[in-house]
Amino acid sequence: QITLKESGPTLVKPTQTLTLTCTFSGFSLSTSGVGVGWIRQPPGKALEWLALIYWDDDKRYSPSLKSRLTITKDTSKNQVVLTMTNMDPVDTATYYCAHLLVGATTDYFDYWGQGTLVTVSS
């Protein structure tokens, strides 16, 4: 049974750096063909993919946010960490982590965490 859970601050100030942790169980991020990604959703708005890390430590970032994002993994702790620098009120959103299954032409998120709401305000 795969589960994921996000943790981190609920409130950050503008210009600060946000650090979110995804703690998962039921799979290993050293297993070929899996990944963990981060997706966010501003209140009332659409999903936006942010970053992803694969089993082999390859990484992908949203082109529009690449300069602000860093994703890392700690396989021994079953955790993936996302950092986002220079936070702004427009970054207020629910942040989700999700398990990715990798295929030749078909990568999809089959398990999601419950999400954590991060508010950016002074």
Partner 1 sequence: QSVLTQPPSVSGAPGQRVTISCTGSSSNIGAGYDVHWYQQLPGTAPKLLIYGNSNRPSGVPDRFSGSKSGTSASLAITGLQAEDEADYYCQSYDSSLSGHYVFGTGTKVTVL
Residues that bind partner 1 (CB under 8 A): 37, 39, 46-49, 52, 60-64, 96, 103, 105-115
Query: Smaller CB distance to partner 1: residue 70 or 107?
Result: 107
3-state secondary structure of 94: strand
C-alpha–C-alpha distance, residues 10 and 64, integer Å = 23
Please report the DSSP string for 100-115 in residue order.
Answer: EE--SS--EEEEE---
C-alpha–C-alpha distance, residues 42 and 49, integer Å = 12
Q: How far is the CB of 99 from partner 1 (least distance, A)?
A: 10
Q: How far is the CB of 104 from partner 1 (least distance, A)?
A: 9
Cβ(93)–Cβ(118) below 8 Å? yes
Query: Smaller CB distance to partner 1: residue 8 or 16?
Result: 8
Q: How far is the CB of 122 from partner 1 (least distance, A)?
A: 26
Query: Smaller CB distance to partner 1: residue 32 or 103?
Result: 103
